[in-house]
Amino acid sequence: MIPANLPVSTIASARQQVDDSTDPIKTRLEIIMSIERTPLHQDPVVIVSAARTPMGGFQGDLQSLSATELGSIAIRAAVERAGIESADVQHVLFGCVLPAGLGQAPARQAALGAGLRNATLCSTVNKMCGSGMQTAIMAHDLLMADSTAVVVAGGMESMSNAPYLLDRARNGYRMGHGKVLDHMFLDGLEDAYEPGRLMGTFAEDCAGSNGFSREAQDAFALASLARAQEAIADGHFDAEIVPVQVTVGKESRQIIHDEQPPKARPDKIPTLKPAFREGGTVTAANSSSISDGAAALLLMRQSEAQRRGLRPLAVFYAHAAFADQPGLFPTAPIGAIQRLLSKTGWALDDVDLFEINEAFAVVPLVAMSELGLAHEKVNVNGGACALGHPIGASGARIIVTLLAALQRRQLKRGVAAICIGGGEATAVAIEIID
């Protein structure tokens, strides 16, 4: 079987050899064996630039901006950092989980708001928490198929601006009480298969079945916060963040840092009540916080970058996905990472850093336990427990953060993985280009 992501030129050359051969059957066998030994990354997809906004708290620094406005800021920054013209971008793929009230085609709005041309093709992607990562995966596959040349992928979310919904209002309530539904809860934070059940209750189940105590989860959350606070103080996020200008009343302010870590009170974390179950172990602190933000990546094939005289940041090496029962989403990143390593041929020790989204502290905890990962390699600048989790953006945000962390530490290989409501997870492998 011919590998799916070989360069078109390799396959065309092989077909020509078959046509020219006097013994087509023998030649086919020889060529198939040759192709199977051909490196799959002769002309790989590369990440040329990356950018993200600061992560804003719920009803916090970024609440005056819509998701599409945040998306525009990230897209514009990614294009500028790549050193190309906005007219060069052919596709924009952008994640958004809470699009109600934004108007038609949120990704299209974000792209045009970033100054991209009207001819740019745009798609909005909703794969829950994995939306931002899924756009990068789709961009990779479009590029490997030679269906496009320059793509911006990423995600955006303003959880602060998610509207309330009036169910049945179109037909009229006629009699009795109506109900106002929270778009953020209904379409973002509640399970679709057990209506009304919050994602945090599944984190409780995971913690209980895998033996993670309240103390272990709090310790992880405290470490995440300490790492994030240190990263902010030392400027470790500066390379990835694009400043955001906001207006509060009559005052104009520039937001340059993630909002929540500096405000957090570590001493309060052990005192918080369980958030999802009486007597439980999952709290607001050892869960990700509701937040706003956007992140973007600009991708193309390596040959395209060379043609343009650009110096890419990293190779988008491979991607993988995994699915299980909806309630088992906290453990799904384990399967995604295992499949990813199988595709790359990397051993765990070959990976320098991991970003595993902290939807809940138990998600990276169970992954580290099952895979044998050292905490020193995981979420080295903190994660969503400290920074926040704008659900449509986080999958892209952790790739942006992973890129910057690898570069800063002069390391080579990284893996980013994210759990997804509904029982899924995705993972990507990147390799820094020297």
Q: How many CB atoms lie within 10 A of CB 55?
A: 32
Residue 14: is its pLDDT beyond 70? no
Handedness of CA 49, 432, 425, 229 (dihedral sign): negative
Does the pLDDT at position 281 exceed 80? Answer: yes
Closest CA to 98 of 393, 420, 397, 295: 393
| DSSP H/E element including 409 | helix 394-409
* CATH of 45-161+289-429 given 3.10.580.10, 3.40.50.720, 3.40.605.10, 3.40.47.10: 3.40.47.10
Q: At 364, is the pLDDT very low, low, confident or very high (cuts 50, 70, 90)?
A: very high
Residues identified as active-site? 129, 389, 419
- Cα–Cα distance for residue pair 395/399, rounded to 1 Å: 7
Tell whether the model's pLDDT for residue 426 goes beyond 60. Answer: yes
The DSSP letter of residue 278 is T
Please report the pLDDT score of residue 9 as a whole number. Answer: 46
Q: The pTM is what?
A: 0.90
State whether the Cα torsion 8-13-19-22 is positive or negative. Answer: negative
Domain ranges for the chain: 45-161+289-429
- Name the nearest CA neighbour of 31 among 53, 52, 6: 6
With bands split at pLDDT 50, 70 and 90, how would you rate the model's confidence at 1?
Answer: very low
Which amino acid is residue 176, in one-letter code?
G
Ramachandran bin of 359, using left for φ above 0, alpha for ψ from -120 to 50, beta for the remaining angles: alpha
Q: What is the mean pLDDT of residues 243-272?
A: 94
Measured CA to CA, the distance from residue 144 to residue 151 in angstroms comes to 12
Q: What is the pLDDT of residue 168?
A: 86
Q: Can you say how many angstroms the Cα of residue 63 is from the centroid of all Cα atoms in its chain?
A: 21
CA 4 to chain centre: 24
CA angle 289, 293, 295 (to 5 degrees): 120
Confidence band for 28, pLDDT divided at 50, 70 and 90: low
